Amino acid sequence: MSLILNLETATAVCSVALAENGIVIAFRESTEGRRHADQITLFIQECMEESGKTLRDLDAVAVSMGPGSYTGLRIGVATAKGLCYTLGISLIGINTLEIMADGNKNQRTDTTWLCPMIDARRMEVYCALFDEQLSYQKQTAAEIINADSFNAFLKTQAIHFFGDGAAKCQALLEHQGKASFDGSFTTSARYMASLAHTKHSAPNFKSEDIAYFEPFYLKDFYSPAHSSGA
């Protein structure tokens, strides 16, 4: 048995899902953007009240660890670490692109490979490539996309590109017939539930180090003085 609070703040979406044994029992989400700090605590409170559970009932907190928005990641990770430290429970970090891939896979019935993409400004995206079993075929990276990107894969394999990063890459990649796109797909805490439960239930499960755990920024942080946003 496990009761896990799942937090997703890596993109413009702010969402919280409370899951029991991998099944979501309470869920809150907003796509307003840049209100994560205001919303996350309220969403947690509402999920606990709706489920009839208390924070003391939690076995772990799972957090989307990145890559993604620097500001969003800091808010989510800080909230997760604070809860885990206060409650004395486990912390589970999950790659944001894995969350997106698992969520998208559960909406599909084909064997197309999956490439979640998060916008990282200009023509750069955070991305990874997964096969139909959700095994990595290309590790998480920050890449500048051009017309030849993914050529080696698309020669023989259909790939579905999705997420806000896919929207800006479509014009460059759509000439390759095995490519399909969904720029409207967004990540969500509800996609974390089964992943977090599987990790927590594993015989060799080990909590993240609450004191030293940091977001997976992937790129160096740029302050507002050098950049217009996170």
User: According to the model, what pLDDT value does residue 225 have?
Assistant: 39
Residue-range domains of the chain with CATH: 3-95+187-201 (3.30.420.40), 98-182 (3.30.420.40)
Contact 16, 62 (CB under 8 A): no
Share above pLDDT 70 across residues of the chain, in percent, rounded to a whole number: 95
pLDDT band at 34 (very low <50, low <70, confident <90, very high): confident
Determine the residue type at 159: I
Distance CA 18, CA 29 (A): 12
Mean of all residue pLDDT scores within the chain: 93
pLDDT band at 78 (very low <50, low <70, confident <90, very high): very high
User: According to the model, what pLDDT value does residue 220 have?
Assistant: 59
pLDDT band at 226 (very low <50, low <70, confident <90, very high): very low
> Could you tell me which of 49, 48, 44, 46 has the C-alpha nearest to residue 76?
44
Higher pLDDT, 133 or 33: 133
End-to-end CA distance of the chain: 37
- The pTM assigned to this predicted structure is 0.92
User: According to the model, what pLDDT value does residue 62 have?
Assistant: 98
Whether the per-residue pLDDT at 229 is higher than 60: the answer is: no
Whether the per-residue pLDDT at 17 is higher than 50: the answer is: yes
